[in-house]
Structure 1
Amino acid sequence: MAAVEKLQRCVVSQTGKHTASLVFLHGSGDTGQGLRAWIQATLHLAFPHIRVVYPTAPARPYTPMKGALSHVWFDRYKISQDSPEHLESIEAMCTTLGSVVQDEVHAGIPKSRIIVGGFSMGGAMALHLAYRCHPEVAGVFALSSFLNKDSIVYQAVENKGVHLPELFQCHGTADQLVFHEWGEQTSMLLRKAGMKVTFQSIPGLNHELSTTEIELLRSWILSKLPI
């Protein structure tokens, strides 16, 4: 069996006793270091008890960029709700990111004290990782993200029943890359499959992170991972 690829990662350590962990996945073309730098410069996402881990996706040929190398969690045939998912690359990354989750477990943190999530493609990847492979986690978040209409995640949610971690979604109303309605439809289909979903629209926000949603995210994280 081939060894699982070890991802580069940036870590913001807890300021006190380590009792919970957060895995935050960047968007396409970014890195864990880049995401961490933005968040640290705008709103200090640090906690007394939660270690925050920012992995970096390996560089791979990315079809929407005509095969140019980019740090993406998986490939896409095109950026569209109607496109089939590139399951081969998604499956491989679920295995690779599973090792990040397991490293936190080996550090003494149960999955029930781990949250996974991300921005844009990172949010979509987190949905696959959590609901298909690690449904015991405390929660999942997806910022400016969507799933394809025929995503295998919907089937996985229906098969696992209602006892799944809550999803927290934020999406800008002015997003011109991942349209707001795509995020809303993802939320609607997951609710229809039996999941609890909180969806927050951010007026006027394009395809970017904002201090408003990071503040909302921080409050939600603390509700799921109290000290």
Structure 2
Amino acid sequence: MSEQLLKTVERETGDHPKHAVIWMHGLGDSGHGFAPIVPQLQLDGCPPLRFVFPHAPTMPVTVNGGYVMPAWYDIRGADIVAREDEAGIRASQAAIIKLIEREIARGIPAANIALAGFSQGCAMALHVGLRYPQKLAGIMGLSGYVPLG
């Protein structure tokens, strides 16, 4: 994975947000997949939030016959825990940490940043959030597991 920051889709619910949610998509999707949910959350009256929806890098996914698709890491077989792609998980971890650091540099403290994810994105949200050295606002996971647990 490159040293460059992941490309993202961003949505803000108001001016000058002081809170952020970094939301990772599932296998084969993109940052555009969950962006339409922001208005559905009906956040009127809440402090302004910035939603950051990163795009996973594309890579061959073994379980899908080597088809190149957006993925946070390779899935090598049906038993996702027995044959985990540790290098891929750690590379995505580093990329997500860079997004957290960018939000901190933009003036949002770590304690006001939440990680969220669906499926493979949930696995990454849990993996990064449980290991991040500073306290985060929270972790929301939908349909996932803790990799490298």
How high is the TM-score relative to the length of structure 1?
0.59
Give the 3-state SS of the residue equivalent to 1:35 in structure 2: coil
Unaligned runs of 5+ in 1: 154-227
**1:191 counterpart residue number:** none
**1:84 counterpart residue number:** 83
8 Å CA contact 2:11–2:38 kept in 1: the answer is no
8 Å CA contact 2:6–2:54 kept in 1: the answer is yes
**1:145 counterpart residue number:** 144
CA distance 1:134–1:53, shift in 2 (3 Å)? farther
Q: Is residue 56 of structure 1 aligned with residue 55 of structure 2?
A: yes
Q: Is residue 24 of structure 1 aligned with residue 47 of structure 2?
A: no
**1:121 counterpart residue number:** 120
CA distance 1:125–1:82, shift in 2 (3 Å)? closer
Q: Sequence identity, in percent?
A: 28
**1:196 counterpart residue number:** none
In 2, Cα distance between equivalents of 1:82 and 1:3: 25
- RMSD of aligned C-alpha atoms? 2.1
Deviation at residue 40 of structure 1 after TM alignment: 4.8
In 2, Cα distance between equivalents of 1:134 and 1:73: 21
Deviations 1:198-225 (A, max 9, x none): xxxxxxxxxxxxxxxxxxxxxxxxxxxx
Q: Which has the higher contact order (CA 8 A, sep 6+)?
A: 2
In 2, Cα distance between equivalents of 1:53 and 1:102: 13
Pairing 1:28-107 to 2, within 5 Å after superposition: 28-37=27-36, 39-40=37-38, 43-44=40-41, 48-80=47-79, 82-107=81-106
